[in-house]
A and B are shown apart, each in its own frame.
Chain A
């Protein structure tokens, strides 16, 4: 045991940094939600009584569910194509997933604003070609938020699905075809059930990332459609209502941790990020 003392000491820097500069500030957020403006559950009662709180919760839930559904659908198609691609093509497909993943979220939101706003490239092109007379409202509403969020989430959907699809034995598919199954049967009876764990993992991941998403909804929502993260920031920075802001933050963290705990068997974060190759 004493031989190991040195190794235990190596754990310390990261452990101390995380405890002092990460865990403590977050626990403090949880504490404030019960302490301010006065001790008790007053802030949490607002969930039942305050319309603004309820509206932001509903908006967030709706946007997150739609985003997750679309991101899973598109991501599944992409992961499927990557799995079946040749070694060489696969490298290019993966690049299409990994490069957007690492490009700044601000840059991506900016690109979407350039495209979608009233005088943006899409509206201009459509008006010049005479398809529409009036510019379409493509951004600063829920539509814009979902377009931008799905764009951000698809790579996160692809990676866990890809990891589980690559474990499917390719001979199964060829064998099923050889024994007379149609393409659709091969997919619905063999490929899809085998890839389901990856689909669930991707769904959980995209959903929890969407819940606390700040930058893209704030930019593409233009302050009109508020999601939880932006609402929290508004409470703290502009309205100085720490109690309400931290209550919502606590709710957010608890929702995410509970979701993860429920699905902990299928979601392996470490493998997901380590598998981003």
Chain B
């Protein structure tokens, strides 16, 4: 609240326009997914769920959805464990060297995925990890670490370091301090990080384009092929399902954050 100072008509028009530009084009896939036509269009005579039925009856779509889900879940575990331990230790040690390391951890957010993807394409060839579940999990897990480091570090910012010292002083071991003193306090940050790491893997396309081909065919990969080959309303149905999934995860995140703020 800016002390009752309100934006003028120009700023108001522009901001409403921008908000509409951000939100409305995404919402258009909802009516399109409910079309009664066989091609990508708005419903003509009535609403129909046939395209959702097509998706759920298709072993390809279901297979890709399940595969993406398991990959995202495994990658999230990897990101959360590595990222949380790192963030806690960097916060506790807090010196020049750990600050540099923390900055290094943000690299995957800055370096374009295409650069990483071509590097991995050659590198995983040697490790025999191309087109393997494990390969994609590692790639997504590593690139998911920065999300966890950021959210956990933010949660640690409001944590009193003397609690940790007190616990250690009274004879708690390091694992005990982590488990009983630090972790309960930073749990909302960990969950937030997990949600973002999950979304990251679930939506990731570019790395998968390079390091997976046949056996691993994730949902984004199938959508990519669909957009490039045949634009049919089943794609719109998948898009709506994906939007719904993202909204649920974001809602979950908001609930977690609210609990932390209380």
Contacts and interface: CB of A to CB of B under 8 A. Distances in A.
Contact of B89 (A10, A83, A98, A106): A10
Contacts of B220: 104, 106
A11 B151 contact: no
A57 interface: no
A111 interface: yes
A111 B106 contact: no
Contact of B250 (A102, A114, A174, A237): A102
B106 A269 contact: yes
A258 B261 CA distance: 38
Range, interface on chain B: 35 or more
B123 A25 contact: yes
Contact of B19 (A10, A93, A237): A93
Contacts of A226: none
- What is the predominant secondary structure among interface residues of chain A facing chain B? helix
Contacts of B22: 96-97, 100, 151, 154-155
Interface of A: 4, 6-11, 13-15, 17-18, 21-26, 28-29, 32, 74-75, 77-78, 80-84, 86-87, 93, 96-100, 102-115, 117, 119, 121, 124, 151, 154-155, 170-171, 173-174, 177, 183, 208, 211-215, 219, 229, 232-233, 236-237, 242, 245-246, 249, 252-253, 256-257, 260, 269-270, 273-274, 277
Contacts of B205: 105-106, 215
A10 B28 contact: no
B8 A78 contact: no
Contact of B93 (A4, A29, A106, A253): A4
B223 A106 contact: yes
B106 A233 contact: no
Given A112-B25, A273-B150, A14 B227 contact: no
Contacts of A13: 81-82, 85-86
A107 B243 contact: yes
Contacts of A74: 14, 17-18, 21
Nearest to B85: A10
* 4 A-B pairs with the lowest CB-CB distances in the bound complex, closest first: A212-B112, A25-B119, A81-B15, A14-B86
Contacts of A237: 210
Contacts of A219: 227-228
Interface in B1-37: 1-8, 11-12, 14-19, 21-23, 25-26, 28-29, 32
Interface string B247-259: 1011000000100
Interface stretch (B46-54, B57-65, B231-239): B231-239
Interface in B94-152: 98, 101-102, 104-123, 138-139, 141-143, 145-147, 149-151
Given A114-B236, A236-B118, A270-B150, A96 B3 contact: no
